[in-house]
Amino acid sequence: MEKTVEILNRHKTPPAFNAAAFSGDGDKWVTEIDRDMAVSYRIKKRIFSKKSKFQDIEVFESQSHGRILTLDDIVMLTEREEFTYHEMLTHVPLSAHPCPENVLVIGGGDGGIVREVLKHDCVKQVDFVEIDKDVVDASRVHLKKMWYDENDKRVSAYYEDGVEYVKKKENFYDTAIIDCTDPSQISEGLFSRDFYLSLKRALKKNAVFATQSQSPFYDAEFIKKLHAGLRDIFVYVRLYLAHVPFYPGGCWSFTCVSDTFEPSVVRKVKYGRLGTLYYNEYLHKSAFVLPEFVNKIVSG
């Protein structure tokens, strides 16, 4: 048994609990340990590291997954597979709405969501609200594949807490996308009842919004509470799933919400013209078809 662990765990120095390990010379791996699991990537080198006011930001060049962004030792994305997450969190709410013009993006400092939003011609304004400018600055320089066209005049960036930002808006957005880190000191407010009440005010009556909503395998209680809270405030609250290889378990959930539109219905067919690698209109519908254990989580 001990030998198996030795063979599988190839770190020179075993990673600390819940921490990314960077082993120094020789065979280098970066590992995210999440509860009783770990995901590791073989690394060529660390290319960026900074302790910002909010979190530890690191970018690694991996052997076969492109660049990898970690925040507080948690993998945010691998360049090789990031399309799965960014396309599904963006194109589902934007396609469930017939014509989203004003779009709010909260979090998403790596740029991936804004890049996807800009593929929709009907979008006229994108307000991008990220609490940590250092994540934006690092991504702009070190994750160019993720970065959006900054010459696109539709985007305005704001560096502040999304919870505070939405309080200032009323009846303005057609779509909102919350791409925040797992519930933590800085992001937990983005899953709170007060935030959703403010967001409801900031959205137009027929708006659609989506948030990442953690793992259906490992965060069932979180999802249950989130959905119960959202159902108190909004009419349609729907969970959908996608394969996201860089998050624990490889299957991730998202929640799409509206007072007017059933989120699983595609209203704005852009299939083909979006140039997506994962999303299409058939997958949009099927992503809302849930395994029984997930139906149980969301059925209250």
Active site residues: 179
- The only residue of 212, 253, 255, 280 in contact with ligand SAM, by rule CB under 6 A: 212
Q: What is the sign of the dihedral through the CA atoms of 278, 287, 282 and 210?
A: negative
Separation between Cα atoms, residue 192 and residue 83, nearest integer Å: 27
Residue 223 Cβ vs ligand SAM, minimum distance, rounded to whole Å: 15
Q: Minimum CB separation from ligand SAM for residue 136, in Å?
A: 8
Nearest 5°: the CA angle 15, 245, 11 is 20
Binding mask 270-289 for ligand SAM (x = CB under 6 A): --------------------
Beta strand 173-179 with 203-212: parallel, antiparallel or unpaired? parallel
Closest-CA residue to 221 (of 176, 177, 183): 183
> How many CA atoms within 13 Å lie on the side-chain side of 231?
11
* Residues between 16 and 55 that touch ligand SAM (CB under 6 A): 54
Q: Which of 130, 210, 230, 279 binds ligand SAM (CB under 6 A)?
A: 130
Q: State the sign of the Cα–Cα–Cα–Cα dihedral 10, 12, 18, 20.
A: negative
Smallest gap from Cβ 69 to ligand SAM, in A, equals: 7
- Told to check if 223 binds ligand SAM by CB under 6 A, we report no
CB of 1 to ligand SAM, least distance (A): 32
Residue 66 CB neighbours (<10 A): 18
| Structure letter (DSSP) for residue 20 | -
Work out whether 198 is an interface residue with ligand SAM (CB under 6 A).
no
Among 33, 88, 131, 298, binds ligand SAM (CB under 6 A): 131
Amino acid at 22: F
- Smallest distance, Å, CB 64 to ligand SAM? 20
73 part of the interface to ligand SAM, by CB under 6 A: no
CB 209 within 8 A of CB 177: yes
**What's the half-sphere exposure (Cβ side, CA atoms, 13 Å) at 93?**
37
Tell me, residue by residue from 144 to 183, as one string, x for binding to ligand SAM by CB under 6 A and - for no binding: -----------------xxx---------------xxxx-
111 binds ligand SAM (CB under 6 A): no
93 interacts with ligand SAM by CB under 6 A: no
- Distance from first CA to last CA of the chain, Å, rounded? 41
Tokens coding 198: 């403010």
Instruction: Please report, as residue ranges, which positions from 177 to 196 form the binding site for ligand SAM (by CB under 6 A).
Output: 179-182, 186-187, 189-190
Centre a 10 Å sphere on the Cβ of residue 109 and count the other Cβ atoms it contains. 34
Q: Answer yes or no whether residue 208 interacts with ligand SAM by CB under 6 A.
A: no
Interface with ligand SAM (CB under 6 A): 54, 71, 76, 106-110, 129-132, 135, 161-163, 179-182, 186-187, 189-190, 212
